[in-house]
Chains A and B, each alone.
Chain A
Amino acid sequence: MRHALAAASLVAVLVVAAPVAGFAASGNDAAVAADATPSGTAPTAATAAALATIVPLAVAEVAPGVFVHEAPFALIAPANRGDIANLGFIVGDDAVAVIDTGGSVATGAALLAAVRAHTDKPVRYVVNTHVHPDHLAGNAAFAREGAKIVGHHKLARALAARAPFYREQANRQLAPADAAQSDFLAPDIAVEGTMRLDLGGRELVLEAHPTAHTDADLSVLDVESGTWFLGDLLFAGHLPSLDGSLTGWLAEMDRLAERPVARVVPGHGPRAMAWPDALVPQRRYLARIAADVRALIAEGRSISAAAESAGLSERDAWALFDEFNPHNATAAFQELEWE
């Protein structure tokens, strides 16, 4: 019954979304579309049918109109279909913004189904917090519904350089059917500095950060509820992964910590956390890595020694430590040996 409702509501959603997507040339066309029966719009019917078979991702409402999917701590694998990063959506009077889309188009579609279980409003924007596949490989599920993809002004370049590699990686990490759908779509809207998005009576502030976790980190603040989606600028419980600049990240954390917000949503960790307390373990870990690696460099030790020994005192405090720590130590060594 619920699936049927979702399918029916999708038709209305597409009508509203059409002008945004550029499918309709004028308001007249949109009006015509509104009168059309579901059977008269083949793509919509097909999409609706597909959606009806999709199990929506579990989401929780962390503030009125702010929903978060809290993902498990895991690496991308065929069984989890890339559902390993926290995802969210914010509902305004007129439209919805989705924040990150998961590690496969299938996971993106499951997030869309979760959106549809809560609202019929169109998804006007998909905000990508950074370049990593577990956060944006589901973009296509929303782009085909007319959503505009929004990212850091350096996201397009980072994707251009990485997408072919990410596609190969998807072949290794996902089931063939999921990997075959991989399509790392470039953003339609680039954010430099800050940008405000209006969802109708609800304003989001997007902020492009200097190089930290990656060189294209973007955060999303819902002004009304004071909920701040930090993407992978914040890890909690799941070991942080370093793919940008260790010194940049440490400096940026000092700035972030000063913001008065009601709650934050980490890219990996609990769905909502108090601020700036949530930052304490990550700061401690990254500072430890920096100190350990600097000491090894001063002693004339090698990058292999760093991979084996830096940060080990943090081992019991984190999930996926062994999976990410040697890589972090290697990256930190390559950065800090130039100091």
Chain B
Amino acid sequence: MTATGRHLPSAALALALVAGGFSVTLFAGPAAAQEAAQPAAQEPAEATWEAIRFDVVGDTAIATGEGVVAIEAPYRAHDAAIVPIDVTAHLPQGRTVKRMTLVIDENPAPVAATFTFGEPQADMAVSTRVRINSYSWVRAIVEADDGSLYMSKRYVKASGGCSAPALKDADAALAQLGKMKVRFPEGGDKAAAATSTPIAVPSASTAADAGGAKRLKAQIMIRHPNYSGLQMNQLTQLYIPAHFVNDIEISQGGRMLLKMEGGISLSEDPTIAFDFVSNGSPVLDVKAIDTDGQVFSGAFPVDTGRS
């Protein structure tokens, strides 16, 4: 679709880590529980990141994301199975955002998801919700069109999110599997984001980037249990097989806007909110595939928002 060049080995890596993380947890469960019982008194060093860095980005140098990439997350998670993460970026020097990878260092499969953008844009805003298994750094790594990488991180205190059963009403969840909804939340979040993140994304320059086209925010929601493979069924003493949405592609008028790959750490009922520059087509197409190969799709009218 677009030139490949240097890029994060996202999909293959995510799969490898899924497999690796699964077996590690199977055999190291009690040790992990003991660790959780003694949370570190201070924010830990970045030993885990040092160990996985090469697998995630290879040898490529990573520039600080300060002033370029901002990641927001609660310092202490209210629900480890539903931790909201907001990432925004504004690339300098005419660069555009090609890909954003979300990494949760201490999760059994650290690469939570990779987001690839279809249209060249200097600005990026993606919000999602993730499971976090233990106190961990959460990183957003943004790859520019020229291959340069920028990284910002936040520390989140959470426990047990990957094994936590978020399902509150199991019957309702099953009955609604695959149901989709798209919202176009205008205004509120943008206003909040503008005041709470260090990056100013002036709407004037955004509009200029797009030659005056309107910048919209869409939230994609999919009903799915998104089993991480770390939840166990007590009756059978077997882990519930990983079953999650691992591929979401959103397009407008046949042009791809955003693609999500990976997804093992996304929360139940995965949701992605993102900013995009409307190309004028009235329909947003969403196609999602889960690890069982089930395909969910829907077409939604683009709400251009309250003027």
Contact = CB atoms under 8 A, between A and B. Distances in A.
B171 interface: yes
B181 interface: yes
A330 B158 CA distance: 15
A171 B36 contact: yes
A168 B34 CA distance: 9
B192 A215 contact: no
Contacts of A53: none
A290 to B, nearest CB: 15
Residue of B186, B232, B273 contacting most chain A CB atoms (<10 Å): B232
Contact of B170 (A167, A171, A186, A215): A215
A41 interface: no
Interface string A238-282: 000001110010000000000000000000000000000000000
Nearest to B159: A172
B36 A211 contact: no
A159 B234 contact: yes
B163 A168 contact: yes
Interface size class of chain A, counting residues whose CB lies under 8 Å from the partner chain: 35 or more
Interface in B124-162: 127, 129, 159-160
Interface stretch (A15-23, A85-93, A299-307): A299-307
B206 interface: no
A302 B84 contact: yes
A164 interface: yes
A157 interface: yes
B192 A171 contact: no
A61 interface: no
A277 to B, nearest CB: 28
Contacts, number: 118
B27 to A, nearest CB: 15
B79 A330 contact: yes
A326 B188 contact: no
Given A304-B86, A326-B78, A161 B169 contact: no
B188 A160 contact: no
A165 B36 CA distance: 12
A304 B234 contact: no
A215 B169 contact: yes
A327 B221 CA distance: 20
A190 to B, nearest CB: 13
A66 interface: no
A248 B171 CA distance: 13
B203 interface: no
A117 interface: no
A296 interface: yes
Contact of B165 (A165, A334, A335): A165
B33 A168 contact: yes
A172 B163 contact: no
Contact of B235 (A156, A302, A337): A156
A216 B164 CA distance: 17
B72 interface: yes
A299 B33 CA distance: 41
Residue of A211, A248, A330 contacting most chain B CB atoms (<10 Å): A330
B51 interface: no
B237 to A, nearest CB: 9
Contacts of A296: 188
A47 interface: no
B169 A244 contact: yes
Given A168-B160, A172-B36, A304-B72, A160 B235 contact: yes
Contacts of A329: 78
B82 A302 contact: no
Given A211-B172, A303-B82, A338 B221 contact: yes
A192 to B, nearest CB: 13
A163 interface: yes
A164 B234 contact: yes
Contacts of B160: 165, 168-169
B183 interface: yes
Interface of A: 154, 156-165, 167-169, 171-172, 184, 186, 211, 214-215, 243-245, 248, 296, 299-305, 307, 326-327, 329-331, 334-335, 337-338
15 contacts: A156-B235, A159-B234, A161-B234, A164-B163, A167-B33, A168-B160, A214-B168, A245-B168, A245-B169, A301-B185, A304-B86, A330-B78, A335-B168, A337-B183, A337-B221
The 3 residue pairs across chains A and B that have the minimum distance between CB atoms? A300-B185, A326-B78, A163-B234
